[in-house]
Chain A
Amino acid sequence: MARYESLLDACGGTPLVGLPRLSPTVPEGAPPVRLWAKLEDRNPTGSIKDRPALFMVREAEETGRLRPGDTILEPTSGNTGISLAMVAKLRGYRLVCVMPENVSSERVQLLRMYGAEIIFSPAAGGSNQAVATAKQIAAEHPDWVMLFQYGNPGNARAHYETTGPELLHDLPTITHFVAGLGTTGTLMGTGRYLREKVDGIQIVAAEPRYGELVYGLRNIDEGYVPELYDATVLSRRFSVGTRDAVLRTRQLVEVEGIFAGFSSGAILHAALAVAHEAVKAGQRADVAFVICDGGWKYLSTGAYGGTLAEAEDALEGQLWA
């Protein structure tokens, strides 16, 4: 289908494309091992977050939690904010985003263009200050509605009802699903759906490993695991460092022509790991992974050019996924 009543109706239904050049070569006569990329940058605001944003708003409207003219408050490092800003604009809500100041300037510009207000939490000084800021905002505005993507089951449900069925429809032979682990919504929702439908499916998480600044807690008890996270949905979980993420992001564009953000590179890194294992084991594999967004919002980081070491330096301390 290519015609829609409005932009909101054009969410999802993204293409799944094969990666014949990045897929590993298998020995003569061995079963094929193929990589497939789901192009989530083809969503209305250019990221996979359009799915949960739209879904969470619709659910809140249906339950009466969200009424016309309300203010939505959301802590987000970028893409969800941009998606919510678009949905809020079209559905008549005001959006206030709380985000760390170490995200790329394109995200800030986009949010402001959509009319969202931004409250920055400091990048340095640990999370304590951000926590204090957040608490203060909530206390001052008890009437604001927080959809809370990290704990809202609607986030995972969006993927259970859309991303999962789309993948199975387009790739009935799927053996592995690989996605990024942030709010965990993509993996929980898509993972649950595919586990119900496909025997032996492997659900693989690629978790970005940032520079040290991001892990600057004062003590372990300040750590956080999203409420949505259920480890039993996953088969494996890889930690992918900045250098590997950048390397794979560059390969995506150089080898397959896909211009993606760095989180997609991290996901490809994990996808290649499981693909190569399948080759070694002589097993057939159809590995589907997610392209979360395009590279446009990250060009200002400078990490698409120069050596890998330079790119790594450019992304130090940034939330690149």
Chain B
Amino acid sequence: MAIEVRVPTILRSYTGGSKVVEGSGATLSGLIDDLDAKHSGLKGRLLTPEGGLHRFVNVYVNDEDVRFLGALDAPLSDGDSVTILPAVAGGALGFAAAAALLRK
């Protein structure tokens, strides 16, 4: 068994277009290293140069936000389902428009 990882459209250029890939790791950090070994460059999109989770990247383990489960240290088990999504909250277009209006 492995960990199933759902990859958002925006990152599929790293997975050869695959929507779902498999990986392994005892923690999220380990999983990201494993994924990066198979899909080179992915880690650089998920983490900041300082090594933290990118502000606009949300990762969920079995539908729960990893930032509340220990972030990169969040423990993983075989059979877990991991979902990666860009942070757009409710309604990407409305938010983007709102942010743009404020920035002017």
Where the two chains meet, the residues of A that have a C-beta atom closer than 8 Å to any C-beta of B are: 73, 75-77, 98-100, 121-123, 127-128, 130-135, 137-139, 146, 148-151, 180-184, 205, 207-209, 212, 214-226, 231, 234-241, 319, 321
- B60, B89, B93: the one within 8 Å of A130 (CB): B93
Contact of A215 among B9, B67, B98 (CB under 8 A): B9
A182 to B94 CA separation, bound complex (whole angstroms): 11
A127-B92, A212-B8, A225-B87 known; A134 and B68 CB under 8 Å? no
Q: Are A77 and B86 in contact (CB under 8 A)?
A: no
Interface size on B, residues (CB 8 A): 35
Known: A75-B98, A212-B9. A135 touches B56 (CB 8 A): no
B1 within 8 A of A: no
Whether A135 pairs with B90 at a CB distance below 8 angstroms is no
Q: Secondary structure of the B side of the interface?
A: mixed
B64 at the interface (CB under 8 A from A): yes
Across the interface, do B56 and A100 meet the contact criterion of CB distance under 8 Å?
no
CB-CB contacts of B55-74 with A at 8 A, as 1s and 0s? 11110100111011000000
Q: Which residue of the partner chain, among A127, A148, A222, A238, contacts B102 with CB atoms under 8 Å? A: A148
14 A-B pairs with CB atoms under 8 Å apart are: A98-B101, A99-B94, A127-B88, A131-B96, A131-B100, A133-B97, A134-B98, A151-B102, A184-B89, A205-B65, A207-B89, A212-B9, A224-B56, A321-B90
Name 9 extra pairs, CB < 8 A, besides A215-B92, A224-B56: A100-B93, A127-B93, A131-B99, A150-B95, A150-B98, A180-B90, A183-B89, A216-B9, A224-B99
Partner of B88, one of A184, A218, A223: A223
CB distance from B22 to the nearest CB of A (A): 20
**Known interface pairs A223-B55, A223-B56, A319-B90. Does A239 touch B101 (Cβ–Cβ under 8 Å)?**
no
Partner of A220, one of B63, B86, B89, B100: B86
Complex contacts, B9 vs chain A, CB 8 Å = 212, 215-216
Task: Judge whether A225 and B89 touch: CB under 8 Å.
Answer: yes
Bound-state CA distance A235–B9 (Å) is: 29
The one of A123, A182, A205, A241 in contact with B93, judged by C-beta atoms closer than 8 angstroms, is: A123
A137 to B102, CA, bound (A): 12
Chain A interface SS verdict (over half): mixed
Q: How many contacting A-B pairs (Cβ < 8 A)?
A: 160
Q: Are A130 and B96 in contact (CB under 8 A)?
A: yes
Determine the chain A residues whose CB is within 8 A of the CB of B99 once the complex forms: 131, 150, 224
Task: Quote the shortest CB–CB distance from A185 to chain B (angstroms).
Answer: 11
Q: Check B97 against A131 for contact (C-beta < 8 Å).
A: yes
- Cβ–Cβ < 8 Å partners of B87 in chain A: 223-225
Is B91 an interface position by the 8 A CB rule? yes
- In the bound complex, what is the Cα–Cα distance between A223 and B48 (angstroms)? 14
Q: Is the CB of A216 within 8 A of B92?
A: yes
**Pairwise interchain contact A138-B101, C-beta atoms closer than 8 A:** yes
Nearest residue (CB) in A for B87 is A223
**Least CB distance, B90 to chain A, in whole angstroms:** 4
Which of A75, A135, A137, A219 touches B94 (beta carbons < 8 Å)? A75
User: Do B100 and A135 have beta carbons less than 8 Å apart?
Assistant: yes
Q: Which residues of A contact B65 (CB under 8 A)?
A: 205, 207, 236-239
B97 touches A75 (CB 8 A): yes
Which of A99, A123, A135, A224 counts the most B-chain CB atoms under 10 A from its CB? A224
Cβ of B101 and Cβ of A137 under 8 Å apart?
yes
User: Cβ of B21: which chain A residues have Cβ within 8 Å of it?
Assistant: none
* Docked complex Cα distance between A187 and B101 (Å): 24
Which of A123, A137, A181, A236 has a CB less than 8 Å from the CB of B64?
Answer: A236
Q: A121 and B85: CB pair below 8 A? A: no
If A215-B85, A223-B86, A237-B64 touch, whether A77 touches B91 (CB-CB below 8 Å) is yes
Contacts of B102 in A (CB 8 A): 146, 148, 151
